[in-house]
Structure 1
Amino acid sequence: MSQESPRELLDQLLAQADDDERPSKSQLKREMHALQTLGEQIIAMTPAERARFPLSDDMLAAVEETARIRSHEGRRRHMQYVGKLMRREDLAAIRAVHDEIEQEKLRRDHAFHRLERWRDRLVEEGDPAVEAFVADYPDADRQALRQLIRNARRERDHHKPPASARKLFRLIRDTAGL
């Protein structure tokens, strides 16, 4: 039995909406689980992200209710209810917003990885990397960069916690405007 992602199951659900033949009971269960998983993902998002979704009043009330449920069994039953409510929602619009949010997260992650590579390069190479960084970001504070690089190297060489490397990353992030 292959494990399909909620995205793939939602695609199948939308494709089957056009078909005339009735899906099997197993297919209906997979679709319900996919809708329930999507509901769980929406609940796990920040309120700002959730506000972007075109959700009905019933669905919004169910999402807010989730925070008040403490028992495991109660939460499980509530998530089934959320999955049931998801069937009445505009799945194509929800999927579009979900994909957009996921793409934003990917771009943000890539940007942070790029900044981490800058930090590592600055610590390893020193002044040549500082010049390259300043060429890309002319507003960078050279003196602060060099001081944090020296401190980060010292911490690394003495096997101490990387406090200066973290400060260096924050300076790079602020300079890059992220």
Structure 2
Amino acid sequence: MRKQRPDPVLSTNEVKEQEERPSKSQLKREMHALQALGETLIAMRPAERDRFPLSDDMLRAIEETSRIRSHEGRRRHMQYVGKLIRKEDLTAIQGVFDSIDQEQEQRDHAFHRLEKWRERLIDEGDPAVDLFMAEHPDADRQTLRQLIRNAQREREQGKPPTSSRKLFKHLRETLAL
């Protein structure tokens, strides 16, 4: 039977130091998060990646990733990318991600507005066209009415919504989205 060893007596400074220091598991979680961030940056197109404030070392490491074919080599390289990301300005990188998310949200909102207009135009017909023209006087009323009539006819006959898609595309082009 093994002897029980007594717990070592720690000074108050050592106790405070242990409480402030993150655990090994926490450090691993943070490293995995940084590696995931690196993978996200690697998956982006170069034009998107140019928006980020990345160092030359980081950009070289990202470019190098595409040349690595070995699974184990790629895993080690991703660890290296995670190490490099620690040196980057994470708040600036997060700011760029936030602005990208905000732009995407605005685009989604604009597309939802277009979808609502399309449905309203198809459902209501000419009264909705008058309202749309009041908001967007540059729109081509004749083309709009023709697309609406075709979409209504398709809906009544149960055909695929080809004209409805054309109407949506026309609305998107009219509003320059």
- Alignment TM-score, normalising by the size of structure 2: 0.80
Moved more, 129-138 or 157-166: 157-166
Query: Residue in 2 aligned with 1:40?
Result: 39
Structure with higher Rg: it is: 2
Structure 1, residues 31-54: CA drift from partner, whole Å, max 9, x if none? Answer: 112212222222233322210111
Question: C-alpha distance in 2, partners of 1:167/1:76?
Answer: 46
Structure 1, residues 92-126: CA drift from partner, whole Å, max 9, x if none? Answer: 11111111111111111111111111111111111
Amino acid at match of 1:102: D
What's the offset of the Cα at 1:176? 0.8
| Residue 141 of structure 2 corresponds to residue 142 of structure 1 | yes
Aligned length: 159
Question: C-alpha distance in 1, partners of 2:57/2:167?
Answer: 47
Query: Residue in 1 aligned with 2:118?
Result: 119
Query: Residue in 2 aligned with 1:21?
Result: 20
Q: 1:153 to 1:69 in 2, by over 3 A?
A: farther
Task: Give the RMSD, CA atoms, in angstroms.
Answer: 2.0
Structure 1, residues 111-149: CA drift from partner, whole Å, max 9, x if none? Answer: 111111111111111111111111111100111111111
Question: C-alpha distance in 2, partners of 1:44/1:116?
Answer: 30
1:166 alignment partner, SS class: helix
Question: C-alpha distance in 2, partners of 1:140/1:161?
Answer: 25
Amino acid at match of 1:118: W
Question: C-alpha distance in 1, partners of 2:70/2:125?
Answer: 54
Percent of aligned pairs with the same residue?
74
**8 Å contact 1:49–1:101 — kept in the other structure?**
no
Question: C-alpha distance in 1, partners of 2:124/2:72?
Answer: 55
Query: Which aligned segments of 4 or more residues in structure 1 are displaced greater than 6 angstroms?
Result: none
2:20 alignment partner, SS class: coil
Question: C-alpha distance in 1, partners of 2:68/2:88?
Answer: 23
- Alignment TM-score, normalising by the size of structure 1: 0.79
Q: 1:69 to 1:167 in 2, by over 3 A?
A: farther
| Residue 128 of structure 2 corresponds to residue 132 of structure 1 | no
